[in-house]
Structure 1
């Protein structure tokens, strides 16, 4: 079996084998293996580059009958420049000289032993690399799983908090609706009593009788609660549109102004303009003037809830 066939059977690339055999001038199996190992991480030169490289080596002046290269620092001898360079890279030695000592070629038994040794080294290197790759893969998988678990936990916590906020908001809106309905009902009753008293006074005047004594009206629930409701931090508004459609419902900070409410209405219905929209209440009946638009909902007496009529 030729040196090239032997190296191919060991698993080396054919191009690197040709490079090694040409670079070592077919000096034998050992120099070729040394060259392959020394230049394993280098790209294979093209035919022109290799010819130029060999031509440079051929132009080196003959300094005598050099048979080998010797490391002056450790005393080892090498058959070729390639093996000496490999030794320099591994050991860090830099002092080399030509030697007339001839290195005997390897016997068949030595070649076989070298092949076995090289195969064992290659197998050990591949096994070590495989372990490193497996270790890195396990670490990456652990990180991926942990990231997925953390992401799922954070998502669940955010959903739970959002549900809690939504439930609290609905409870507040329900309480505000109850208070608003009670206030409207009380206002209606007060208006009825006021109209009845006015009608009775007019009838007495027509009949020439003294006006009936005014009956003290019970305190209005809205007035009784005014001290507390006016301090509510939020105001829930139901806004009925002049152009029709479902009423708009939104909770604003009590410090918001009617301009903020106008911007909200304009964003929900393009028929309304922030500059021209006007608001009014039914109970008590009131139309808010332009100077009221800059006042807060609290200052306009709309807390904690109110129904507004929006006109163009």
Structure 2
């Protein structure tokens, strides 16, 4: 018949651990309980613990005792080691020495205790598996909660970014509308100014003497004629020079040549080429990207559109090819 040690080895336990378990437990069931309890410890740790216990053990005052009895449940044990295993398993703490010798276990008793020990080990493993399952479920719940909180935070950040982007786009549209309105207002103001000057020029042509600039020229011409009639050539020359110097141009007359035809218009000398291009587009529908002057040869591209007509040298008149 196989010994207790052989049975433990057949059950898959380490031989050296099994030897130590039989030493500690005193019998096969107690050894199984001890092995199950210390399953996580290495052999070297168990041997070190055993050596510490042996070195610190006091003389056994109960050496003459034949057995131990548990006063809590009246169960008897062959030695102190078996009683300690019972105490650890049940929580009982009241033990006493007994002079009664316990008869050796029969094979049937050994087998029954072995089965009971195996059953306890299976139950402990099942309980541990259930506890592990509950812990894993709890960990999954914590992980899901953390993931949901993280996803909620990301979604909240995404919404804030969308709101911020929408606000920026709205502000950009508002700024664009305001800029277009300023340009439109300036163009309208320029149109009104050009109309006023055109009306003024028309009135000047109808009644030259009513306006100082033309009146001065008219008076100068009349004086020059009178001086010529009198034969005063020097006076005529002086008057003509005075008229030329005193004349200041406030407008430029521009002629535009385009693929679809031509257009002629007067602009104030402080009008920019950008404003000229805008007025041309409103008039003809053509978007100008450049203006070319044939003589003297010069090209004005979009980088020059910030110049006024006066700065560009297009006063008092010029012919431009629209590009």
Q: Report the TM-score when normalising by structure 1.
A: 0.52
- Whether 1:131 aligns to 2:158 is no
**Which position in structure 2 is the counterpart of 1:10?**
11
1:207 to 214, 218, 223: 214
Tell me what 1:101 maps to: 100
Q: Post-superposition shift, 1:101? A: 0.8
> Could you say what secondary structure the match of 2:105 adopts?
coil
Root-mean-square deviation (CA, aligned residues, Å) is 3.8
Structure with the greater relative contact order (CA < 8 A, sep ≥ 6): 1 or 2?
Answer: 1
With over 3 angstroms needed to count, the CA separation of the structure-2 counterparts of 1:42 and 1:84, relative to structure 1, is farther
Q: Which has the higher helix share?
A: 2
**Contact 1:69-1:80 within 8 A present in 2 as well:** yes
The corresponding residue for 1:110 is 109
1:69-111 Cα distance to aligned partner (Å, 9 max, x none): 2234443221121221233334444443321111111111111
TM-score normalised by L of structure 2: 0.50
Are residues 66 and 31 of structure 1, via their aligned partners in 2, closer, same or farther at CA, if it must alter by over 3 Å?
Answer: farther
Contact 2:9–2:15 (8 Å) recurs in 1: yes
User: Equivalences for 1:71-220 in 2 at 5 Å?
Assistant: 71-145=70-144, 147-149=146-148, 151-152=150-151, 155-156=154-155, 158-160=157-159, 162-191=161-190, 193-194=192-193, 204-208=211-215
> Aligned pair in 2 of structure 1 residues 96, 39: CA closer, same or farther (>3 Å)?
farther
Q: How far did residue 120 of structure 1 move?
A: 1.7
Does structure 1 retain, via aligned residues, the 8 Å contact 2:68–2:78? Answer: yes
Check if 1:50 corresponds to 2:57.
no
Matched pairs, number: 207
The higher radius of gyration belongs to 2
Q: Distance in 1 between matches of 2:28 and 2:90?
A: 23
Measured in 1, the distance between the counterparts of 2:47 and 2:169 equals: 82
How far, CA to CA, are the matches of 1:64 and 1:3 in structure 2? 25
Distance across 2 between alignment mates of 1:150 and 1:48: 49
Say if 1:23 and 1:54, in contact at 8 Å, map to a contact too. Answer: no
Q: Per-residue displacement from partner, 1:14-64 (whole Å, max 9, x unpaired)? A: 33312123446xx5435544654676676654656635633554x615656
Q: How does 1:297-312 map to 2 (within 5 A)?
A: none
Which residue of 2 is the match for residue 238 of structure 1? Answer: none
Q: Which runs of 5+ in 1 are unaligned?
A: 210-281, 283-312
